[in-house]
Amino acid sequence: MEKTNRSLKFEETFKNPGKEFRGTPFWSWNTKLCADCLEEQIAQFKEMGMGGFYMHTRVGLDTEYMGKEYMDCVKKAVEIAKEKDLYSCLYDEDRWPSGYGGGKVTSRQEYRSRNLLITPYKKGTKTYTHRSTDSMASASPQGNGRFLAAYYVRLHADGTLASYMRCEENAAEKPGYQIWYVYLEIAHDSPWFNDQSYVDSLNPEAIRYFLDVTHEEYKKAVGEEFGKTIPSIFTDEPQFGRKRCLGTADSKEEVMLPYTEDFAESYKAAYGEDLLDHIPEVLWELPEEGVSRYRYWYHDHVTERFAKAYSEQVGSWCQENGIRLAGHMMEEPTLQSQTQALGEVMRSLRGFSLPGIDMLCDAREYTTAKQAESICHQYGKDGVVSELYGVTNWDFDFRRHKLQGDWQAALGITHRVHHLNWMSMGGEAKRDYPAAIGFQSPWYKEYGLIETHFARVNTALRRGKPVVKIGVIHPVESCWLLFGPNQQTGQKRQELDQRFADVTEWLLFNNQDFDYISESLLPEEWNGHTVGEMEYKAVIVPGCLTLRQTTLTILEEMKKAGTKIIFMGKPPRYIDASLSTAGEQFADTCTRIEYSKQDLLEELEPYRLLEMRFYGEKHLKKPNHKKNWNGERTEKYIYQMRREGEGRWLFIANGRAQDHPDLILPDDVKIELAGQWKVTELDTMTGKIGGKKAEIQGNKTILYHRFYSHDSLLLYLEPEKKEGKTREEILPQEVFAEKETYALAEQQGWRAKDLFESQVEIERKEPNVLMLDMPKYCFDGETLEGPEEILRADNKIRTRLHLSLRRAALAQPWTQKKEEKTHKILLQYKIVCRNVIEDASLGLEIADSAKILLDGMEIPKRETGYFVDPCIRTVALPTLQEGVHELMLEVDFTRKVNLEVVYLLGTFSVCVEGSSAILEQERKTFFWGSLTEQGMPFYGGNVIYKTELVLETGKYMLEVSKFRAPLLKVKVDGKEVGEIFKSPYRVAFEIEHTGKHEIEIISFGNRVNTFGAVHDCDEQEIYFDPNAWRTTQDGWSYEYQLKKTGILKAPILWKKHEK
């Protein structure tokens, strides 16, 4: 994460990128910390190809946050990282969102989050029972706030505001009017915030105290490594209390809006008006489609108070102390979401050294990435950080790791923060938005394959300056005008958001790169020639309802300087939220177009740097089924271009999610580049660098490339020195033939051979697994209940004891006092064996405290190691004879005890029958197809497929196109010949002598059927938070809902026949 080391030759750096180009995952500190246990996991980061890590406290931390023992571990981790030449980065909060200091800040009442409660109910006339417990700053009404104002409010029949006037809290009812009250409420305790609350993020004094209890303490402990071993500190999802709208104008819903103690005073200082005189205009629409400047000012002022109190103040502290502020804000993707949580995201990102995003659930939030990238471009920041891969579940494979990282790299992401590497998976930690990318995943040692690819991409994309010619005025302030009752303005907000997304994708996927321009930041960025460090040849006003006068003035200056100004759709009717004809008058002097993709692209054509169009027909894997897309724009690939001296770096990536992952469907693409270039291709998977065929036609350079589904392309462009010379014409079919497909394979002399028999030998690399998750249970000697799924049983037991349930929101263990009183919980499991099991062992998290009985006999605790994670200890069991066995666990239960799934391990097969699973004799015969149905329903480790073939001397390709595994690795005669994880799913090798040869395919496992949500009925579930394991009603099934694993289709062997 340091500046690029220019002393090394680029070729050396590209082949073996240093730590500064590599990712730094979140290292989840989620257990009782142990300084002596840090070194092994830090070494694993190195083994995975990472550049370091962020020390990130998560669910399960059982060491006092920021206490002496905790800080000793921080210092130890920094020391070890320094020895191993890794980065050891900081994280500024106990979980998230940042700002409350693990509860230390908000234990002081004056620093707690504040909100206006706007209600038709006078204080004391309504009872409130619901309290928000989620991990956001959402406020819940309490009814105990301080009175600020009241109003008589009268509405027209259409729900618009007819009149309003202030009144006293005890004012009498008035015919035709409804009295609405405004109270200032202070946030209540919440278990997520360690039984404190979120911080008043509009109050600079509260955030200063946050710096005192967090950043200053880190500075005392490890400040000498700031800017060296510790290059950055991550802040996560700072926000204010959610703004809410009325549902309908005539409803009696309550609305909460973010506020702080001196808000009215600073509002009046900024705008010369008393906000409390005009609160009804913030909520209700004005008649005749009028807009309220008071509403606009409220949203603008909240945004400014928040940005100055939080990101600017925290960012300034970091800059003064030699450490970068990295991180991301909350709910950035849409105009409405950022209005509700932030006001405007770009204004806050200005304060970061490394502005960032998070990208959960494998989403494609192009707007989110573009906002951060635009700030980076305009302010000349050090790069853009992304918290990526989170909430994707255990079966998120390498091809999707590459796809997600590629499109983000094309949109400016330079610093990868992988979500998530667990220190432990004990208790609730194993459901903390998986998957875990560390040692608990059996593929973790192979991850360097992915990370080195992105490190090589970074060696190019951190050089030079971005080449972007187009700016787009960000329309978020138009959304503020529409923040009225949903019934009247909800559809309008949706339309504005759809257009925001449309323009973003129209430009990106038609290869017209651009930056957003924030209206609030534009005056400080504009120097009469550039917007910060960027010079735009064209600026788009995308149907904004309002513009600032400062924006209008600067657009006029840009136009005079030669910039093309394009108004899409209707020009703004308002300037600074006041009705004005100035916007339309100026638009009439500029280019005006309909809100149309085609019109927009035509107007921008003179500024095009790159164009990508399909070449030829596309085969769709059905007989005689072809699609002629020849000449059409791909609308699939996005790019980033950077200028370094006279040269250009160009990175092209697939920006769309995969639609047919099991099919080999390449795109043959013609790429046109503006200018005359000599082209070099840099292979980021291998580190090889070589020339790429290109043809110069006039002032354009033409090249052809075949993109498989998971490919990206990195090129270096040098000016062609030979002026006036046209290169020899290249034939596209020659270029495309360099990478074999089914369509061209026969022309190139390849022949497919179905040599693999339907049966195959399989070797497991771990013991097989039987999940025991539905015991009968009893409480303090009462009658057994159940059987019940273990997490549901845990909920019932905690409900009996009046304890908080283990769900998404729970106070950290370090905040909980040790309980003296315990309760006896008995868990009874039935194990059905259809044969003798001689090597059985039990994996459980409570091995040290539970009493284990098998068929009534206590089992001595002879630990044999651990299963997947050291928290799941393994205990040897005696031989299990054929028949039914009763396993009993006696547990001393307290608040901190976690009742979790128990695993029976050994050499056997498992047959799932609905909600039951039975042990059978180990299978001797396996077939190509899912292993879930072949005796391994809960197995998540690696397997090796072994087969012996008689092969002649020659060149071969092994193709394995349909599998459910993170990746495959191929060995021939014991020698590793390559990996398969992305299309075209082939690995090449050569046979030097005719005869028998052993082919081994290592299928790396995932833990989705071992630790995943195996009772969740929603096959389209994408949000794997802790409650995905606790679905209800039609989302729940006692029958196991398992996923396919392994190689699902027999491999194909291709042999090259020389002509």
Contact between 94 and 103 under an 8 Å Cβ cutoff? The reply is yes
In this predicted structure, the answer to whether residue 725 has a pLDDT above a threshold of 50 is no
pLDDT average, residue stretch 492-519: 99
pLDDT tens-digit readout, 791-807: 999 999 999 999 888 87
Residue 743's pLDDT is: 47
Q: Kindly compute the dihedral angle of the four CA atoms of residues 263, 264, 268, 271, in this order, to the nearest 10 degrees.
A: 60
The overall average pLDDT reported for the chain is 95
* Of the candidates 531, 466, 239, 235, the residue with the CA atom closest to the CA atom of residue 356: 235
Domains of the chain: 1-85+354-464 (no CATH), 470-607 (no CATH), 610-739 (2.60.40), 759-763+924-1056 (2.60.120.260), 774-900 (2.60.120)
Q: How confident is the model at residue 6 (pLDDT cuts 50, 70, 90)?
A: very low
DSSP state of 657: P
Q: How confident is the model at residue 1044 (pLDDT cuts 50, 70, 90)?
A: very high
In this predicted structure, the answer to whether residue 763 has a pLDDT above a threshold of 60 is yes
In this predicted structure, the answer to whether residue 762 has a pLDDT above a threshold of 80 is yes
Burial of 625 (0-12, 13-18, 19+ CB in 10 A): exposed
Angle at 173 between CA 170 and CA 177, to 5 degrees: 120
pLDDT tens-digit readout, 638-685: 999 999 999 999 999 999 998 899 999 999 999 999 999 999 999 999
In this predicted structure, the answer to whether residue 231 has a pLDDT above a threshold of 70 is yes
Q: Where is 296: in which H helix or E strand?
A: helix 293-307
pLDDT tens-digit readout, 17-58: 999 999 999 999 999 999 888 999 999 999 999 999 999 999
Residue 617's pLDDT is: 76
In this predicted structure, the answer to whether residue 167 has a pLDDT above a threshold of 70 is yes
Contact between 808 and 135 under an 8 Å Cβ cutoff? The reply is yes
Residue 822's pLDDT is: 86
* Of the candidates 879, 858, 1007, 1011, the residue with the CA atom closest to the CA atom of residue 942: 1007
pLDDT tens-digit readout, 343-377: 999 999 999 999 999 999 999 999 999 999 999 99
Burial 35-63 (b: 16+ CB within 10 A, else e): eeebeebbebbbebbbbbbbbbbbbbbbb
In this predicted structure, the answer to whether residue 625 has a pLDDT above a threshold of 60 is no
Q: In this structure, are strands 968-972 and 700-707 parallel, antiparallel, or unpaired?
A: unpaired
Residue 754's pLDDT is: 75
DSSP assignment of 221-279, as one string? HHGGGBTTTB-EEEEE----PPP---SSTT----EEEEE-TTHHHHHHHHHSS-GGGSH
Residue 620's pLDDT is: 64
Q: How confident is the model at residue 110 (pLDDT cuts 50, 70, 90)?
A: very high
In this predicted structure, the answer to whether residue 4 has a pLDDT above a threshold of 50 is no
pLDDT tens-digit readout, 587-604: 999 999 999 999 999 999
Residue 314's pLDDT is: 99
In this predicted structure, the answer to whether residue 723 has a pLDDT above a threshold of 60 is no
DSSP assignment of 772-817, as one string? E---EEEETT---B----HHHHHHHHHHHTTPPPSSS----GGGSP
Q: How confident is the model at residue 808 (pLDDT cuts 50, 70, 90)?
A: low
User: Which residues are paired to 190 by β-bridges?
Assistant: 196
Residue 727's pLDDT is: 47
User: Which residues are paired to 154 by β-bridges?
Assistant: 163
Q: How confident is the model at residue 1058 (pLDDT cuts 50, 70, 90)?
A: confident
Residue 804's pLDDT is: 85
In this predicted structure, the answer to whether residue 97 has a pLDDT above a threshold of 90 is yes
Quick one: what percent of the chain has pLDDT higher than 90? 90
Q: How confident is the model at residue 731 (pLDDT cuts 50, 70, 90)?
A: low
pLDDT tens-digit readout, 49-87: 999 999 999 999 999 999 999 999 999 999 999 999 999
